[in-house]
Structure 1
Amino acid sequence: MATLEIDRVRKAYGTMEVLKEVSISIGSGEFLVLLGPSGCGKSTLLNMIAGLEGITDGQIRIDGDVVNDLSPKDRDIAMVFQSYALYPTMTVRQNIEFGMKIRGIPAVERDKSIREAAALLQMEHLLDRRPSQLSGGQRQRVAMGRAIVRNPKLFLFDEPLSNLDAKLRVDMRTEIKRLHQRLGTTIVYVTHDQIEAMTLASRVAVMKDGIVQHLDDPQVVYDRPANVYVARFVGSPAMNIIPGRLVDGAEGLELEMDEPKGGTSRISGAAVSEAARRRYAGRPVLVGIRPEGFSLAEPGQQAIQAAIEVVEPTGPDTLAMFTMGGVEVIARLAPRSAQAGQMASLAVETAKVVLFDPQTEIRID
């Protein structure tokens, strides 16, 4: 286990700046996920931690030691790639053993490490097979086993599940989570899949254009996103972002949203600090509501009237689409509780409503 400090790290290719003063501190045994779309800089950052890319400015420290100028082999890290990078002519045993052999580790120790890694990953029965005889998930286990036997300070995963089908991805997520719980190692994991980030991470760093937009516990990132970009990127379906206003109503401060055919929808009881109330009262805001923040209203409960346009049954719930504040909104409702072409009375869980400044798109606290 090791600590990792990324201190004001920059990466530029000529005039093009790929990473812009990224700072992240990772505790020993932590599982950090770098999350973002293609081109946001997450894989570049991982390669810089590994020593595969140079650093334009800033420092990377492992257990307090600056590693900027150390070669990859001297950083005591192990990396698992999107491509399995297995030797096709070698058996699973030989693939796992190869790195240890190169480092001159005695045969007895090599055999012990292989058996322990194979037991941990439940692949003892695969040791004498070649990669061509394995499924995608099994090949990824071998790649993980090859990393485990190194007993490194730090594990780096670069989109290891992207080549797997949906069911295998779910299975391998569980394997990686189980591996982290058993070994307690420090892991940095790159993905564009927000479900992977939410299920695996102890902390998530959401990135865009070489900048960390939000770094926090996955549930905090989901419930209280730092800005509109994070709100829309994390969550499936994404958080609804609805133009509205903060107004004084009969029951105190209310959120008011214009409807395309005239009239307004109002939500009272949104949690707003006194400072935000003074600053934004009577002004436009962006109202963030997760799909599960809507529910069918009980009798006597404050509700908005929604004309359901489309429904998408998913099995455990139904996604209902309607227009609110002039934009399309998605509500996650109970199965068969809504039908296209009908009106529905929907309640909003105001405690989970998040407000954003319409100019900066930063969350209003």
Structure 2
Amino acid sequence: MATLEIDRVRKAYGSMEVLKEVSISIGSGDFLVLLGPSGCGKSTLLNMIAGLEDISGGEIRIDGDTVNDLSPKDRDIAMVFQSYALYPTMTVRQNIEFGMKIRGVPPAERKRATQEAAELLQMAHLLDRKPSQLSGGQRQRVAMGRALVRHPKLFLFDEPLSNLDAKLRVDMRTEIKRLHQRLGTTIVYVTHDQIEAMTLATRVAVMKDGIVQHLDEPQAVYDRPANVYVARFVGSPAMNIIPGRLEEGLSGPVLVLDQPDGGRSRIAGVAISEAARQTYAGQPVLVGIRPEGFSVEVSNQPSVQAAIEVVEPTGPDTLANFTLGGVEVIARLAPQTVRAGEVVQLGVETAKVVLFDPKTELRID
């Protein structure tokens, strides 16, 4: 286990800057997920931590030691790749042992470490098979086992589940989560899948265009996104971003949202600081509401009128589409509570409402 500090790290290819003074710090035993779309710089950052890419500026420290100029073999890290990278002519046992053999680890110790890793990953019965005889999930387990036997300070995962089908991805997520809980290892994990980020991470860094947009615990990123980009990227369906206006009511600030029929819905009771209240009173704001922030229960809470346009049953819940504030909005409701064509009142859980500045798109506190 180790701490990791990424201090104002930059990466440029000529005049093109890929990473722009990225700073992230995690403690020993943390599970950091670098989350973002293709091209945001997350894999480049992982490769820089591993020593596979040079650093244009800043420092990377593992357990307090600067590793900028160290080769990958001297950083005490282990990496699990998207492509498994197994030797096809070797058995599972030989694949796991190969790195230890190269480093001169005695045969008895290699055998013990391989057996321990295989039992931990529930693949002891696969040790004498070749990679061609394994499923995608089993091959990924072998790649993880090969990393485990090194007992490194830091584990790096580069989109390890992206080649697996949906069910295998869920199964392997559980395996990786279980592995982290058992070993308490420090992990940096790259993915574009926000479900993986939410389920695996202790810390999430949402990235865009080489900049960390939000770094926090997964639930904090979900509940209180730093800006509109994070709000829309994290969550499925994404947070609804609805144009509105903040006005003063008799008992405090009130959000006013336009209805398609020309009417208005008024939402009172939204938490906002006194400073923000004075700044934005009478001004346009962007209103962020997660789909589950709506409900068919309207007692003791503000509500909006919803002319339901489309209903999408998913089994455990129903996604209902309607228009509010001039944009399409999605509500996650209990099954069979609304039908397409109905006009209903939907309650709004004001504790889950987040406001954003329409110009900067930053969260208003």
Please state which band the TM-score falls in when normalised by the shorter chain: over 0.9
Aligned mates of 1:9, 1:303 — CA distance in 2: 46
State how 1:297-316 maps to structure 2 within 5 Å. Answer: 297-298=297-298, 301-316=301-316
Residue aligning to 2:179: 179
| Matched letter for residue 130 of structure 1 | K
Aligned mates of 2:229, 2:342 — CA distance in 1: 32
* 1:265 Cα deviation after fit: 1.3
| Matched letter for residue 243 of structure 1 | P
Q: State whether structure 2 residue 257 is matched by structure 1 residue 257.
A: yes
Residue aligning to 1:323: 323
Residue aligning to 2:99: 99
**Structure 1 unaligned spans of 5+:** none
Residue aligning to 2:207: 207
**Any idea what the Cα deviations from partners look like across 1:221-279, whole Å, max 9, x if unmatched?**
00000000000000000000000000122443110012233121111111111111100
RMSD after superposition: 0.9
Residue aligning to 1:240: 240
Aligned mates of 1:187, 1:19 — CA distance in 2: 21
Q: State whether structure 2 residue 223 is matched by structure 1 residue 231.
A: no
* 1:287 Cα deviation after fit: 0.2
**Any idea what the Cα deviations from partners look like across 1:8-40, whole Å, max 9, x if unmatched?**
000000000000000111111110000000000
Count of residue correspondences: 365
State how 1:1-365 maps to structure 2 within 5 Å. Answer: 1-298=1-298, 301-365=301-365
Q: Tell me, what secondary structure is at the counterpart of 1:278?
A: helix
* 1:65 Cα deviation after fit: 0.9
Q: Tell me, what secondary structure is at the counterpart of 2:364?
A: coil
Q: Tell me, what secondary structure is at the counterpart of 1:58?
A: strand
* 1:157 Cα deviation after fit: 0.2
Aligned mates of 1:352, 1:238 — CA distance in 2: 14
Aligned mates of 1:77, 1:251 — CA distance in 2: 57
Asked whether the 8 Å contact 2:266–2:302 carries over to 1, the reply is no
Aligned mates of 1:123, 1:300 — CA distance in 2: 54
**Structure 2 unaligned spans of 5+:** none
* 1:300 Cα deviation after fit: 6.7
Asked whether the 8 Å contact 2:301–2:349 carries over to 1, the reply is no
Aligned mates of 1:189, 1:79 — CA distance in 2: 10
| Matched letter for residue 218 of structure 1 | P
**Any idea what the Cα deviations from partners look like across 1:146-188, whole Å, max 9, x if unmatched?**
0000110100000000000111000000000111111111000
Aligned mates of 1:105, 1:304 — CA distance in 2: 67
Asked whether the 8 Å contact 2:265–2:303 carries over to 1, the reply is no
| Matched letter for residue 330 of structure 1 | I
Aligned mates of 2:314, 2:209 — CA distance in 1: 33
* 1:301 Cα deviation after fit: 5.0
Going from structure 1 to structure 2, the CA distance change for 1:293 and 1:15 (only over 3 Å counts) comes to same
Aligned mates of 2:304, 2:197 — CA distance in 1: 33
| Matched letter for residue 9 of structure 2 | V
| Matched letter for residue 177 of structure 2 | K
Aligned mates of 2:277, 2:98 — CA distance in 1: 63
| Matched letter for residue 209 of structure 2 | D
| Matched letter for residue 64 of structure 2 | G
Q: Tell me, what secondary structure is at the counterpart of 2:141?
A: helix
| Matched letter for residue 255 of structure 2 | L
Going from structure 1 to structure 2, the CA distance change for 1:5 and 1:315 (only over 3 Å counts) comes to same
